[in-house]
Amino acid sequence: MDIGLRPFRPDYLDAIVEVNEAGFGHADEGRITRALHADGDSILSLVATGNIEIVGHIEFFRIRIDGAPVGVGLGPMCVLPELQQTGVGARLIRLGLKALEGAGESLVFVLGHNTYYPKFGFSEAAAKPFTSPWSGPHFMALRLAPVGPETGTLTYPKAFGG
Ligand SMILES: CC(C)(COP(=O)(O)OP(=O)(O)OC[C@H]1O[C@@H](n2cnc3c(N)ncnc32)[C@H](O)[C@@H]1OP(=O)(O)O)[C@@H](O)C(=O)NCCC(=O)NCCS
């Protein structure tokens, strides 16, 4: 199957939620994705499409650092179970990071598999100077440019229950 990557469109939202439910096996991430879009907190959203359907999704949202809108969060992201481990997730992450870098973003945070995101440059060490409700071994950061805060307190969008 040829997989293409495309930017979000509002009419994709229901299919994105279904892919999240299939990928994660529960409803939380689909709900978070809907809320991020409804609240205007999504800053970049991409989908992977197969022949006729959406097969993967990645979301990037705004994180405030000491109140300033200068951080980005990655998530939710998912790929349909039958297409996992075929490189779709890696393509979504790489295109997303490239677009964010081009848009002048400098700091991306993620809470997730600490054997997966380091493949794309994320590290726990880069996240350590920042205070977050998610701090710990699965909380990682990637600096895209040598600018932006070196430390600070992160505030997540209300979609995450903050
Ligand atoms: C995690 C997920 C998004 C990865 O997407 P994917 O398309 O399956 O991953 P890719 O095929 O692009 O994998 C890229 C590399 O990461 C590895 N990898 C994939 N999933 C991994 C995982 N969960 N943990 C560690 N490594 C993983 C692959 O083996 C591959 O390694 P390689 O480059 O050495 O060959 C996908 O498996 C998924 O949707 N999982 C369920 C939902 C989920 O957990 N989302 C992320 C929450 S943090």
Query: Is residue 84 within 6 Å of ligand 1 at its C-beta?
Result: yes
Domains assigned to the chain:
4-160 (3.40.630.30)
Nearest CA to ligand 1 atom 27: 116
**Of all atoms in ligand 1, which is nearest to the CA of residue 85?**
11
Read off the pLDDT of residues 132-151 as tens digits, 9 standing for 90 and up: 988 999 999 999 999 999 99
Look over the chain and give the mean of its residue pLDDT values, rounded to a whole number: 96
Estimate to the nearest angstrom the gap between the alpha carbon of 19 and the chain centroid: 15
- Ligand 1 centre to CA of 2 (Å) is 19
User: Are the beta carbons of 96 and 60 closer than 8 angstroms?
Assistant: yes
Q: Output the pLDDT for position 51.
A: 87
Nearest CA to ligand 1 atom 21: 116
